[in-house]
Amino acid sequence: MDADSPRHIAVIGSGPAGCFTAQALRRQWKDADITIFDRLASPYGLIRYGVAADHQHTKAVTRQFDRNFGSGDFRFAGNVEVGSDIDLDVIRAEFDIVVLATGRWRDRTLTVPGAHLDGVLVSGDIVNALNTVPRPNIPMPTIGRKVVVVGAGNVALDIVRFLIKTAADYADSDVSPEALDSYLSSPATEVTVLSRSPIASAKADVAMIRELGKIPGVRITVANASPAAEDNTLGRKREAAFAELASRDVDEVRAHVHFVFGATPSRVGGTTQVETVHLSAAPSGEASVIPADTVISAIGFDVNAPGHWHYAEEYDFTPSDTLGRIGPGLYRSGWLKRGPVGAIPANRSDAHQVAKEIIADVESGDCTINPEAGGYEALPASLTKQSVSFAHWGRIDSAERANAGESRIRRKFHDHEDMLAAARSQDS
Ligand SMILES: Cc1cc2nc3c(=O)[nH]c(=O)nc-3n(C[C@H](O)[C@H](O)[C@H](O)COP(=O)(O)OP(=O)(O)OC[C@H]3O[C@@H](n4cnc5c(N)ncnc54)[C@H](O)[C@@H]3O)c2cc1C
C-alpha cells in the first residue's frame, strides 16, 4: 500500500449516498479498510424505510451493496449512532477520511392556521408506519374517508397510491400488515390533492402519474389553473399524463381523486378535529372550501430541523451541489449535501463527484493521512461489541423473510431491540 493512500475510511449512514460513496472509494483504494456506520440495525436508509412497499423493483439496488458488504469491500457497523453512541471526533481521530451521509429526514409541516388540529398528518408518519420504521416505531395514524393531500411531488403521489390501492396490490411486498389492515378497514373514498404550482411545474415524475391509471375502481379528475407553455416539453408531458388519467372510463367507482393545481390552502377549519380545508386561491369553478376529516401534507423536508446535526453542529450544512468537503478529511454526500431532493440515482452521481474530490484532496496533500489512525479496530471495545455486523444483519434479514406470511416477501421487525436480539441469536 502506498504510504499516502488512506488506510481507514468511515462513512456515516448506509443509505444509497453512503453506499455509492464507499463503492467509488473502494474502486480507487483497493486496500483501504472501509466501515459504514448506521444508527439502525439494518442497512440502506430510505431504500428500506422510505421507498414505497409497492415499488419493490426500486429496492433491488440494494443487491449490489449486498455484494460489496458480503465480499468484504466494506464493513457494516449498524446500531451505532454517531452523536449519541460515539462522538464524531472519536471517529475522526481513528479514520483518515470520514464521509457523512446521514440524509435529511423530517417532514416540513403545514404552517397555516388550524394545522394543529387532530387529523392533520405528515406523510412521513404514514411512510414510516407502512415501512415499519423502528427506533421509534409509530403505528399508522387514523385516516378518515375524506382526505386532502397537500403537495403533488413523488412522495405525495406515493401517498395517493397508498390511499387508493387495495390489499391485493401489496402482494409480494414487505408492507407492514398492521399498518395496511388498519387503513384498509375504512379506506378513503374522496381524496383531493392540492398543489400550489400548475401541473407544468409540479414535481411529480410522469411515470408516477401514469401509474395511478393502473389502479382500477378509481375516478380521477383534474383542475389546472394555468396550462404549460408550448415550449415546456416536460410540463406538457405531465399535462398529457393527467389528461389521460381523467379520460379513463371507470366501472364500479370505489374512490374519487381530484387533483387541483394552482390551489393555495389558507386555513384548516374545525374545533378539535379537521372539518374543512379553505383555499385562498383555486382555479375558477373550483370550491374554495373542501370538506375533510384528514389532511396529509407531503410538502418536502425541513432542511433545518432542530437536532438533526446534533453530532456535528459546528459545521455548515447549507445544501451544496458542488463541494462535499466540510472540514479537513471530513466530507458529506447525498441528501445531507444537496438537500432533501432527488431520487436514488442522483445520489450515485453525487457520490462519484464527492469521491473524485476526496481522491484529488488526497493526491494533492490537502487531506493528510494519519499513520497513527487505527480505524474500526481502534474504537472502544464497548462500541465494536454493540455494533451489528453484516453477518448479524443477515440473521435479521433471514428472520424477517421466515416471518413473511402469505404473499409477502418479508415481515419487518417493529422494534429495534427485537432486531438486536435476532442479530445476536446465534452469538455464543
Ligand atoms: C418517502 C420517500 C419515498 C422515496 N421513494 C423513492 C423512490 O421510489 N425511488 C427513488 O429513487 N428515490 C426515492 N426516494 C428518494 C431516496 O430515498 C433518497 O434520494 C435517498 O434515500 C437519499 O439517500 P441518503 O443516503 O442521502 O439518505 P438516507 O437514505 O436517508 O440514508 C441516511 C442513513 O443515515 C443513517 N443515519 C442518520 N443519522 C445517523 C447518525 N447520527 N449516525 C449513524 N447513522 C445515521 C440513517 O439511519 C440512514 O440509514 C424517496 C424518499 C422518500 C422520503
Three state DSSP letters for the chain: CCCCCCCEEEEECCCHHHHHHHHHHHHHCCCCEEEEECCCCCCCHHHHHCCCCCCHHHHCCHHHHHHHHHCCCCEEEECCCECCCECHHHHHHHCCEEEECCCCCCECCCCCCCCCCECEEEHHHHHHHHHCCCCCCCCCCCCCCEEEEECCCHHHHHHHHHHHCCHHHHCCECCCHHHHHHHHCCCCCEEEEEECCCHHHCCCCHHHHHHHCCCCCEEEEEEECCCCCCCCHHHHHHHHHHHHHHCCCCCCCCEEEEEEECCEEEEEECCCECCEEEEEECCCCCCCEEECCEEEECCCECCCCCCCCCCCCCCCCCCCCCCCEEECCEEECCHHHHCCCCCHHHHHHHHHHHHHHHHHHHHHCCCCCCCCCCHHHHCCHHHHHHCECHHHHHHHHHHHHHCCCCCECCCCCCCHHHHHHHHCCCCC
Give the model's pLDDT for residue 87: 95
Residue to probe by mutation, ligand 1, list 23, 39, 46, 54, most atoms within 8 Å of CB: 46
Q: Which residue's CA is the closest to the ligand 1 atom numbered 19? A: 343
Residue to probe by mutation, ligand 1, list 48, 51, 155, most atoms within 8 Å of CB: 51
Ligand 1 near 127 CB (within 6 A) = yes
Ligand 1 near 101 CB (within 6 A) = yes
> Relative to the CA of 43, which ligand 1 atom is closest?
49
8-105+303-388 and 120-297 agree in CATH topology: no
* CATH superfamily, domain at 120-297: FAD/NAD(P)-binding domain (3.50.50.60)
> Relative to the CA of 103, which ligand 1 atom is closest?
27
Its pTM stands at: 0.96
Give, for all 428 residues of the chain, the pLDDT tens digit. 666 889 999 999 999 999 999 999 999 999 999 999 999 999 999 999 999 999 999 999 999 999 999 999 999 999 999 999 999 999 999 999 999 999 987 899 999 999 999 999 999 999 999 999 998 898 999 999 999 999 999 999 999 999 999 999 999 999 999 999 999 999 999 999 999 999 988 889 999 999 999 999 999 999 998 888 888 899 999 999 999 999 999 999 999 999 999 999 999 999 999 999 999 999 999 999 999 999 999 999 987 766 667 788 889 888 999 999 999 999 999 999 999 999 999 999 999 999 999 999 999 999 999 999 999 999 999 999 999 999 999 999 999 999 998 899 999 999 999 999 999 987 76
The fold of the 8-105+303-388 domain, in CATH, is: Rossmann fold (3.40.50)
128 CA to centre of ligand 1 in angstroms: 12
Domain residue ranges of the chain, discontinuous segments joined by +: 8-105+303-388, 120-297
Give the model's pLDDT for residue 428: 65
Residue to probe by mutation, ligand 1, list 102, 208, 333, most atoms within 8 Å of CB: 102
Ligand 1 near 206 CB (within 6 A) = no
Ligand 1 near 131 CB (within 6 A) = no
Ligand 1 near 204 CB (within 6 A) = no
Give the model's pLDDT for residue 307: 67
Ligand 1 near 324 CB (within 6 A) = no
